[in-house]
Amino acid sequence: MRFSTQLLWFLLPVVLLSGCKNDDNMGSTTPTPTAQTQTQLLAANAWQLDKLTDTSGKTINATQTNLTTQVLFGLIFQFRDNNTVRALDRTTKQIVNGGEWTLTADNKAVNVNVTGFKGDFPLVELTAKKMTLRQNVPVNGVNQDVNLEFVPSL
């Protein structure tokens, strides 16, 4: 009888634990972005273009792109929570351009209306330390989708 009791106390936790659901695997693993969280992340930092990559992550040399894309490396972008955006010269910190921005209805892209940087840009990644926007630009004279990888400006 003593052996049966010990076996019961040993097996009881195993049976109980095996019956628990693993909530980590239930439903979507990626939370749906909200306008509030996306806006907070965009407005939390001033952003500067760190590098260009193709959609597979391979770095593209800026000299392979057009002048409009190359100019982005010299700017700092400030997205404000009032839906305004400013572009500052990275060296002088003077405002050189400005306009408006909004999130698309699904909060997965940002619509920017700034001279020279206008359109809907899908948000590939948006965290406190990195913002990656997708844009179609000429690379070696052929238009292709590229990732514009921004980091916080110090």
Q: Domain containing 131 — which CATH number?
A: 2.40.128.540
The CA R_g of the chain, rounded to the nearest whole Å, is 24
pTM for the complete prediction?
0.77
Residue 104 lies in a domain: yes
Give the residue from 135, 152, 133 showing the smallest Cα distance to 144: 135
Residue 21 lies in a domain: no
pLDDT at 13 over 90: no
Please report, as a single letter, which amino acid is at residue 48: Q
Q: Provide the token pair at 43.
A: 């407005």
Range 99-105 contact pairs with CB under 8 angstroms and sequence separation of 24 or more: 101/42, 103/35, 103/38, 103/39
Q: What is the pLDDT of residues 90-128, one digit of tens each?
A: 999 999 999 999 999 999 999 999 887 889 999 999 999
Which helix (DSSP H) or strand (DSSP E) does residue 44 occupy? helix 35-44
CB 66, CB 142: distance < 8 Å: no
Q: Containing domain of residue 100, as a range? A: 33-152
Residue 66 lies in a domain: yes
CA angle 66, 115, 81 (to 5 degrees): 120
Residue 81 lies in a domain: yes
Residue 138 lies in a domain: yes
Instruction: Compute the mean pLDDT over every residue in the chain, rounded to the nearest whole number.
Output: 84
The neighbour count for residue 138, using CB atoms within 10 Å, is: 14
Based on the structure, what is the number of domains in the chain?
1
